[in-house]
Amino acid sequence: MTDKSPPDPLDDLEARLRKAREGQRGWSGGPGSKYHRPPQGALGTAWRIGTELVAAMIVGVGGGLLLDRWLGTAPWGLIVMFFLGAAAGVLNVYRAVTGFGIAAGYRRPPGDDNERQDGDAH
């Protein structure tokens, strides 16, 4: 005889709505609080590092050749830019694997404990 009616679906809806609205407020939440990274297996990492190195060499050597053609400094532009490109590639791979984030960021990503100790204003 207990009037144990099934739970009112609207009660549940109310709770879910509240939860969703809290989620929406996340637009102004701390940046990088849920810092997503693409799921990266070994293959993903290999692809990333490979393309990073290749892209650096393309930009370095291509830029060097263009500089040479423009300024007529062959072969110095190519030589210098080759090494700078190689350095940039290795630097980006270092950044990628030491957790500076997948972007070529220049400072530590937000959410890192060591960030902004240098009083760096954004």
Partner 1 sequence: MDPLHQFQINPLFQIVLGGYDVSFTNSAFFMVVAVAAIYALLVMGVANKSMVPGRLQSLAEMFYEFVANLVRDNAGHDAKPYFPFVFSIFMFVLIGNMIGMIPYTFTFTSHIIVTFALAATVFVFVTILALLKHGLHFFSFFMPHGAPIALAPILIPIEVISYVMRPVSLSIRLFANMMAGHTMLKVFAGFTVMMISGLGALGFVTGLIPLAINVALTGFEFLVAFLQAYVFSILTCLYIRDALELH
Query: Where does this chain bind partner 1 (CB under 8 A)?
Result: 26-29, 31-32, 34-36, 38-39, 44, 47-48, 51-52, 54-56, 58-60, 63, 81, 84-85, 87-89, 91-92, 101-110, 115, 118, 120, 122
Of 49, 53, 121, give the one whose Cα is nearest residue 86.
Answer: 53
C-beta of 1 vs 10, nearer to partner 1: 10
- Check residue 39 and give left, alpha or beta (phi > 0: left; psi -120 to 50: alpha): beta
Distance CA 82, CA 119 (A): 35
CA dist., res. 67 & res. 99, Å (int): 34
In angstroms, the CA 64 to CA 87 distance is 14
Nearer to partner 1, 113 or 120 (CB): 120
Min dist. Cβ of residue 38 to partner 1 (A):
5
Looking at the Cβ atoms of 4 and 34, the one nearer to partner 1 is 34
Identity of the residue, 68 or 110, whose beta carbon is nearer to partner 1 in the bound complex: 110
CB of 122 vs partner 1, minimal distance in Å = 5
Report the nearest approach of partner 1 to the CB of residue 26 (Å). 6
What is the DSSP code string of 28-44? Answer: GS-TTTT-------HHH
